[in-house]
Structure 1
Amino acid sequence: MDSEGYRKTAPDVFNWDTVQLALKAAEEGVYCWEIDKEVIHYTDRCLTMMGLHHHEVAPNIFTNPEQTIHPEDLSFFRHELQRYLNGHTHLPMRIEIRLLSQTSRAWRWIRVNGLADRDEHHRPTRLVGVWVDISRRKTSDQRAQEERDLFRTLIEHIPDNIYFKNRESRFVMANSATARKLGVSTPSDLIGMKDEHFFGKEMSDISRREELEIMETGRPFSSRIHHEVWKDKEETWSQITKFPWYDREGHLKGIVGISSDVTKLVQAEQKAQMAADILDRRNQALEKEVDLAREIQLSLLPYSIPSRAWQTPDTPSRLRSANFHHIFAPSEGVAGDCFEVFSVGDTGVGAMICDVMGHGIRAALIASMLRGLMEQLSGLGSDPAQFLASLNRQLTRILVRANVTMFASAMYAYMDLSTGTLTLSSAGHPAPILLSPEGKATMPALPRSMALGLLETTLYHNTELHLESGSKLMLYTDGLTEAANKEGDELGAGRVMDELEQLAPQDIKTMILGALKCAGHFTGCSQLSDDICLLGMEYRDDPIPEETPAEA
């Protein structure tokens, strides 16, 4: 059979029933507005959109739009309708509005499409078209627009610079902060521009290499510091994060960059580093000076203290002596502790220990001053109270003239070998530890008195003790008894006395070393936190060995 027998013309196929079925499938309504007759006809789909049934009278949206069209769309609808009817465009009419459902009173978005028949004077006589429900698309568009508005609001109010570049590293979007930084009026002025428009070649090349690497590898970088050299302004520093930019299908579009200006921070760090370098150099110079001061201070102290001996005229066969040993251990380069041992007359010896307030160079200077004053006042050494009073007057006057508030505690012991008498006087200093020949440790009870350098008229008091041969006396600074362990407990004089009684030292050196070891064992460390000075004296009254005939 000829294939022509199967062909049918368009009017045979696309009859009214077919058209109605197609419109129903498309969920579109048809209308016909006879303008001259002021009559409008709707299909059931149009009525459904208006929330009406086919037997109900529907308002004419073209002549009475206020009954069915959203108030915010009325002006736009009327303007576009009149513009089309007046023949200002040859294109079909397309107007998007919100239509009111007469039953639910809800709004739905529709697009009113239309074509007009016109008479010989080009006046419209009839408008025919369709209504298309576009609510879903409009809702989706509105949500997308809200997201775009939210995104734009977010990046516009973030002080950081945010920008998007395409695969050629050209700006395609940026916030206002970026525009201000790059010196353009608005973000749109950046579109199509590259870094080379603003930065020097070296900086632009670095940025381009980074962005190519990100786009090739897909790996971002975060918080990288860039030294930005501009074409026409001073250099700056920024902290930059960049990562790849993909579209919805996962295709690479370019990169996203976020940067913040850290110029002030970097400059502050540079200034701080310069200051630190200067301080380091000054500290090194100061350390050298402190080392020199330490060497000088140690050189002024005796390496060993010679014994002081006296032979009694009435008993020429006996020899009385005072033997000494000391330990001087500064916690820092130089110390505020000091001691001195000097002869007093023909039969006496004076021993003094001082602890100046604080540590370091200031304390060491006061300690050196005290040693000089001791030498000047050694003629008063047989009366410890008078000796301390004179020393206090001299020191206080010096400190007042220098407008310096400092003080020093001191303990002075005078041993008279002719009588075996020990006289003690304290200036706010801990009492010494006395070890008897039998090994019993005690602390003499001494009157309380003020430290040196505070009040010029301070009076001091003497305490006399008669020593037996073999008695040992230890003067010390509080660096010994205040040495603390990890728990914060202090050593205290009681523990030192217990240790010395158990040690039962046979000579003064063993006693002094034993006291220092006691502090080290208690604290658990060899380096103590405070200056320590220990000064020991042993009193002996021994017979003089007889000479043998060969020696005679």
Structure 2
Amino acid sequence: MSDAPAPSPTPTPEAMALDSAILRVLMDTIPDRIYFKDLQSRFVRNNLAHARELGVATPEDCIGKTDFDYFSREHAERAYADEQAIIRTGQPIINKTELITTRDGSQAWGSTTKLPWYDQNGRLIGTFGLTRDVTPAKRAEERLIEERTLLRTIIDNLPSRLYVKDQESKYVLNNRAHLNFLGVKDQTEAVGRTTTDFFPGKRGEQALADDKLVLAGERIINQEKPDFAIGGNHWSLVTKVPLHDLRGKLIGLVGISHDITRRKIAEQELERRTEEMEADLRMARQVQEAFLTRPYPVFPGATGQRSALEFAHRYIPATTLGGDFFDFVRISDTLCGVVVCDVMGHGVRAGLLTSLVRGVVEEMGFRAADPAAVLGEINRSLMPVVEQTGQPVFATVFLGIIDLTAGTLLYANAGHPAPMIVRGDTGVLMRLAPNDPEPAAGLIADIAFTNHQCAFGTGDLLLGFTDGVIEAANAAGEMFGDQRLWEFLRRTGRTTPEPLCVSLLDELQRFSERTAFEDDVCVVAVQAARPN
């Protein structure tokens, strides 16, 4: 009895037909492109997916044709060379990623595998292959590479020093600014080393201590810290945050530091200059207060009277140096000048301008008895400031001259809120508002201001104020206004300067519900004294 294996049964035609049908179904349903070629790289058989990719109706339409009929010459030559190499060597090509270009110029990426094709007798008769469309994956990979390149370009060109450390505080990545800061030329000299390898000592140890806090879950955001630089005082603004992978696992930290030494030096210099300026402002405020609180002038009156005129004022500046100014000027025993002025703005500039206005009034001396002439001189003094600075500079001014002998008030007004007179004998109110108001000083060169006159007898009271009074606002944004001031004076009736100023300021504070105001508040009152 022979030990030789029994020969395999010859497949029946039905079995062969079934195998062929299974192979055809498999080939035509698989999305990958399958093809067989002869020794001259001509298509012998391919599946439906490959036929559709080539732009033909059926696989049979491809038989006898080559890649040169469907693809660009460059791609066809490359494919032909690969297939001829397989035929010569018998070595397959496995998962080769290549850019495939058709004859119309459209492109796609494919992963190609090609192998030698043998017949049933082991004779090489051609090649067969499978190409899978990997265009979406390749495009995503390209976008990822582009984004990484862009990110790396941005990182390396940031002026701030950026770095990534692992869980042992060893450098994993550094941008160019940080490499320069560490004193190394490329990434390989920094990877695997810690801060203390470059900066031994207290500051390096502090940096590692900060790393431990961050690796424990804390975040360091924009903290100012002494820098590692040698020589002088150097500062950095430091941020460190934990770094997690896609699964949320802690893998290290990301840090960024920015040299703020220049800013710190500038801040220190600014602080020094601010202190000097504040000292100057305090001194200027003291000088300003000295002018505003000096004793009221005394005018000879009737027997038993201390002065023929009684004065009072209240002044609350919005800032250290206010822009409001008032003065009572003793021109003679019987002539008293009353000045109320509001210079544009607040602070140093306003304080300087009020000094200019005060200087003009005092310099005029006896000429101050002509209010319109004084306002004209103030206007001429402000115009050079406007011309030299190129910025608007103006002041509203009311100047009144009380003549005790004539019982009159001669006044001129350069855009200032109209003062009020309370008649001593009747309590009637009178607003000193001219029919043709004139502009503030400093707005129009060579303007001629106008004098006006009214009676000012025994018991009459003049109330002057700046716009801070009528523009004082409450929480709803409603201003105190002229009407409320008028009603207040009607309720108050005949009174004397000091109680009037006190009660008016109280009224403003009750209305606005505040003790300090957004604008300077100035109130002055002058009354022709009644005989005792």
Relative to structure 2, which stretch is displaced further, 291-300 or 415-424? 415-424
The residue number in structure 2 matching 1:536 is: 525
The residue number in structure 1 matching 2:58 is: none
The residue number in structure 2 matching 1:156 is: 149
Q: Deviations over 1:158-203 (max 9, x none)?
A: 335699999999999x9xx9799979xxxxx979993439995459
Match of 1:392 among 358, 378, 387: 378
- The CA distance in 1 between the partners of 2:301 and 2:248, in whole Å, is 106
SS in 2 for 1:479: helix
The residue number in structure 1 matching 2:325 is: 338
Task: Report the AA paired with residue 191 of structure 2.
Answer: K
Q: Deviations over 1:33-64 (max 9, x none)?
A: xxxxxxxxxx8599759979xxxxxx995545
- The CA distance in 1 between the partners of 2:344 and 2:389, in whole Å, is 16
- 1:343 deviation in Å? 2.6
Query: Conserved in 1, the CA contact under 8 Å of 2:195 and 2:208?
Result: no
User: Mapping of 1:177-196 within 5 angstroms?
Assistant: 194-196=191-193
How many aligned positions are there?
455
Aligned sequence identity (%): 19
Q: Check if 1:16 corresponds to 2:8.
A: yes
Relative to structure 2, which stretch is displaced further, 322-331 or 147-156? 147-156
Task: Report the AA paired with residue 68 of structure 1.
Answer: V
- The CA distance in 1 between the partners of 2:475 and 2:409, in whole Å, is 38
The residue number in structure 2 matching 1:127 is: 123
SS in 1 for 2:485: helix
Query: Conserved in 1, the CA contact under 8 Å of 2:115 and 2:129?
Result: no
Q: Check if 1:515 corresponds to 2:508.
A: no
Task: Report the AA paired with residue 395 of structure 1.
Answer: S
The residue number in structure 1 matching 2:406 is: 419
Q: Deviations over 1:425-480 (max 9, x none)?
A: 22332221111234332202435334445567443333332234332111112222
C-alpha distance 239-67 of structure 1, shift in aligned 2 (>3 A):
farther
C-alpha distance 295-197 of structure 1, shift in aligned 2 (>3 A):
closer
Q: Check if 1:462 corresponds to 2:451.
A: yes
User: Mapping of 1:15-34 within 5 angstroms?
Assistant: 16=8
The residue number in structure 1 matching 2:32 is: none
Match of 2:486 among 466, 477, 497: 497
User: Mapping of 1:239-278 within 5 angstroms?
Assistant: 243=243, 255=251, 266-267=258-259, 269-278=260-269
- The CA distance in 2 between the partners of 1:66 and 1:212, in whole Å, is 67
Q: Check if 1:481 corresponds to 2:470.
A: yes
- 1:384 deviation in Å? 3.3
The residue number in structure 2 matching 1:68 is: 44
Query: Conserved in 2, the CA contact under 8 Å of 1:327 and 1:533?
Result: yes
- 1:110 deviation in Å? 7.0
Q: Deviations over 1:214-250 (max 9, x none)?
A: 9x98x798989999989xxxx999977764558xxx9
- The CA distance in 1 between the partners of 2:334 and 2:151, in whole Å, is 89
SS in 2 for 1:332: coil
Q: Check if 1:369 corresponds to 2:356.
A: yes
Instruction: In structure 1, list runs of 5 or more residues that go unmatched.
Output: 1-7, 30-42, 53-58, 85-92, 99-106, 118-124, 184-188, 545-552
Query: Conserved in 1, the CA contact under 8 Å of 2:321 and 2:348?
Result: yes
- The CA distance in 2 between the partners of 1:382 and 1:143, in whole Å, is 94
- 1:537 deviation in Å? 0.8
SS in 2 for 1:449: coil
The residue number in structure 1 matching 2:87 is: 81
The residue number in structure 2 matching 1:443 is: 431
Query: Conserved in 2, the CA contact under 8 Å of 1:337 and 1:355?
Result: yes
The residue number in structure 2 matching 1:279 is: 270
The residue number in structure 2 matching 1:323 is: 310
SS in 2 for 1:511: helix
- The CA distance in 2 between the partners of 1:513 and 1:251, in whole Å, is 69
Query: Conserved in 2, the CA contact under 8 Å of 1:240 and 1:258?
Result: yes
C-alpha distance 63-238 of structure 1, shift in aligned 2 (>3 A):
farther
User: Mapping of 1:101-140 within 5 angstroms?
Assistant: 112=115, 126-127=122-123, 139=132
Q: Deviations over 1:325-382 (max 9, x none)?
A: 0112221112232222133333332222222233222222232233233233232344
Query: Conserved in 2, the CA contact under 8 Å of 1:324 and 1:538?
Result: yes
Query: Conserved in 2, the CA contact under 8 Å of 1:349 and 1:416?
Result: yes
Q: Check if 1:289 corresponds to 2:290.
A: no
SS in 1 for 2:503: helix
The residue number in structure 2 matching 1:430 is: 417
SS in 2 for 1:68: strand
C-alpha distance 198-134 of structure 1, shift in aligned 2 (>3 A):
farther
- The CA distance in 2 between the partners of 1:473 and 1:353, in whole Å, is 12
- 1:210 deviation in Å? 9.7
Query: Conserved in 2, the CA contact under 8 Å of 1:161 and 1:258?
Result: no
- The CA distance in 2 between the partners of 1:192 and 1:398, in whole Å, is 66
Instruction: In structure 2, list runs of 5 or more residues that go unmatched.
Output: 29-34, 46-65, 68-75, 97-109, 157-162, 181-185, 230-234
SS in 2 for 1:526: coil
Q: Normalized against structure 2, the TM-score is what?
A: 0.65
Relative to structure 2, which stretch is displaced further, 277-286 or 144-153? 144-153
Query: Conserved in 2, the CA contact under 8 Å of 1:320 and 1:541?
Result: no
The residue number in structure 2 matching 1:351 is: 338
- The CA distance in 2 between the partners of 1:350 and 1:471, in whole Å, is 16
SS in 1 for 2:495: coil
Query: Conserved in 2, the CA contact under 8 Å of 1:310 and 1:347?
Result: no
